[in-house]
Chain A
Amino acid sequence: MKIPDNFHYYLSMHEECNERLLARAESLRADEVEVSTNHEVVSIKKMVNAVMGEAHRMKAFVRLSSLGASVLYGFFKPRHKIGEHICDHFARRNAGMIIVLGNGRESWASLCREGRIWRDHGGGMTATLEKLKAALHSGQEGSSSDEASCDCKYPSNVEDLWQVYYDSQYCPERKNLTAFKRHMPRRDQEAAGLRLMQNRKNATLSDFLGD
């Protein structure tokens, strides 16, 4: 288990984290966490690792589709409180684009511009996307009407390319479902909306947001 310098930050995002555990973690030095065999410290380490694991797999598995020229959005329903953390990650990677991640209940929006991050946290993703669409349209007077209509074609096209490429990489003589399942836990695939995408090849915007 590798303990990061900012383990306190990761611990605070755990779904079962509380004030007492945070205070306990605060009183520990990083090298103490590393070697301690104390029951509670070990369980703090495990919690930190669970959060880091989910964050890592969400950075890997969440897929983004574009809405107009300025928005990338993706389905995302994490167990831990990592919404803002992951949304910022994608915003930094796509500077100048608004990233919206979310599900039927809540959503996160981030924009990275000139090294600074702007954020919003709101209700279901559909509503957030609608609001953004309206705000973006009012800013540029009409010119974007055809852009909006061709949006839905683009993401499914990339998904098709990916599916063909992904299938081409499989070596049947190496079939190893145990390793596959270990690396792609069903729970995380679902949290990133992957199963949804695999089952419905021709998913439309509303399919993503239905959950």
Chain B
Amino acid sequence: MVTLEKIAHLAEECRFDSSGPVQSASQAGIDEVDIEKLRRLGEGTRHDVCASTYSPRETPLPGICHAFTQDGRCVSLFKTLYTNHCTHQCSYCSNAANCSNKSRAFSYTPEELAGITLSLYRSNYIEGLFLSSGAGRDEDHITEKMLETVRLLRQKFAFSGYIHLKVLPGSSRDHIQEAAKLADRVSINLEAASASHMNEICATKNYENDILQRQRYIRDILSGSSRNCKSILPAGQTTQLIVGACGESDEEIFRRVLYEYQEIGVKRAYYSAFSPQQGTPFEKKEGQPLWREHRLYQMDWLYRIYHFQPDEIRHAFNEDGFLCNSDPKMAIARESMDGPVDPNTATLQELLRVPGIGPKSAQRIVALRKRRPIVSKAELAAMGLRIKRAAPFLKINGWRDTTLEMWQA
């Protein structure tokens, strides 16, 4: 322990250190922020998903959610549009050029946006910035402004928080390269599951050229820098789809997402259930239930985390290619498991296919049985298994629960 006086003295000396605190910058300009602008540009990103701020840098940045809204979603970043002015005609979007209920056009300046981000960051409201934007009159111009904002943060204010940049459709390769140098993560939204679905929801975007081609640019930047990949885009690239805006099935979405994981190498795909916005051409369309989004995420997890084969996952789709509102893992287990498995002898892959057993508990089972055999369900429950779900699919030393549930399917 040292005295407060000594701490005070040391802190004062810090002012002369080269990389001293940046507080003077963060106070600049936030007194004059237009509250209506802050609100409108914030609302513009309400439907964008940012689930985690974790970034595997050399010193990894932990993911922290600083608040949750009353819809239960996390607020960890200052998630905003640079401008809500847009010339694209996406039929689902309330910022689109063809939306009749559009609000006034607002736009930040790079200094203003950097100032708000810094002051929110320093007071511990956010972990960083998630910057998206309408296309403005000219995509290149807006992209340059967005990059200038991020450059200000990183270079002038030595901002070390997380930055997620949305790449505007049709951005140039040079701009994407620059974004990759500055951000932790970049993403470009697919929105639709295929080119023909894209035509239905937006007449002004070319799926192949504006979106997929830009994703490949990002992929090539990442693979070209594999030797020091920790410094270029540590959190990689991601993408997001709108679910159910034009009648696409879950299987079509799954096919697209498989392509994204296998060919583009996205870290994650995000799903956002379509909800009709006032004044847009799609305002009369029916919104999608939130459970659909949830089931798609479960399917995504089975592929990405549990490493299920695509052919196994297809068991979860019904004849029309949709997931039901029940756990897809349970549906797959009923279809594809031949009989109950014994936790003492099953392989890790077999254990992972039992509903109620996750990657963590599967590994624990394998670790425990090396020491001694597993003899009871209670032991499994103590290791974190959801035993009620798992029991019908398990036999411990030849003995198994008989339940009606197995015969109902």
A interface with B by C-beta (< 8 Å): 1-2, 31, 34-35, 37, 42, 56, 59-66, 69-72, 74, 90, 94-98, 109, 111, 113-114, 118-122, 128, 131-132, 135-136, 139-140, 154-155, 157-162, 164-180, 182-184
B155 at the interface (CB under 8 A from A): no
Closest residue of chain A to B374, judged by CB? A37
The residues of A that contact B123 with a CB separation of less than 8 Å are 63-66, 72, 155, 158-159, 162
Candidates B27, B47, B75; contact of A166 at CB < 8 Å: B75
B60 at the interface (CB under 8 A from A): no
B38 touches A183 (CB 8 A): no
Closest residue of chain B to A120, judged by CB? B4
List residues of B (23-47) whose CB comes within 8 Å of A's CBs: 23-24, 27, 30-31, 33, 35, 38-40, 42-43, 45-47
List residues of B (377-405) whose CB comes within 8 Å of A's CBs: 378-379, 382-384
How far, in Å, is B181 (CB) from chain A's closest CB?
Answer: 23
Closest residue of chain A to B381, judged by CB? A37
How far, in Å, is B167 (CB) from chain A's closest CB?
Answer: 22
A95 to B123, CA, bound (A): 14
* 13 chain-A/chain-B pairs, Cβ below 8 angstroms: A1-B360, A65-B123, A70-B11, A70-B21, A94-B122, A96-B21, A120-B1, A136-B11, A164-B35, A165-B42, A168-B42, A169-B79, A172-B71
B348 at the interface (CB under 8 A from A): no
A120 to B8, CA, bound (A): 11
A168 touches B6 (CB 8 A): no
B68 touches A180 (CB 8 A): yes
Q: A2-B360, A34-B364 are in contact. List 13 more A-B contacts (CB 8 A).
A: A96-B20, A139-B9, A139-B12, A159-B123, A160-B35, A161-B120, A165-B78, A165-B120, A169-B79, A170-B69, A171-B47, A171-B73, A179-B72
B371 at the interface (CB under 8 A from A): yes
A158 touches B119 (CB 8 A): yes
Known A-B contacts A98-B11, A174-B71, A176-B71; the reply to A135 vs B125 at CB < 8 A is no
How far, in Å, is A171 (CB) from chain B's closest CB?
Answer: 5
B12 touches A158 (CB 8 A): no
A61 touches B66 (CB 8 A): yes
Interface string of B100-130 (1 = CB under 8 A from A): 0000000000000000100110111100000
A95 to B158, CA, bound (A): 12
How far, in Å, is B166 (CB) from chain A's closest CB?
Answer: 16
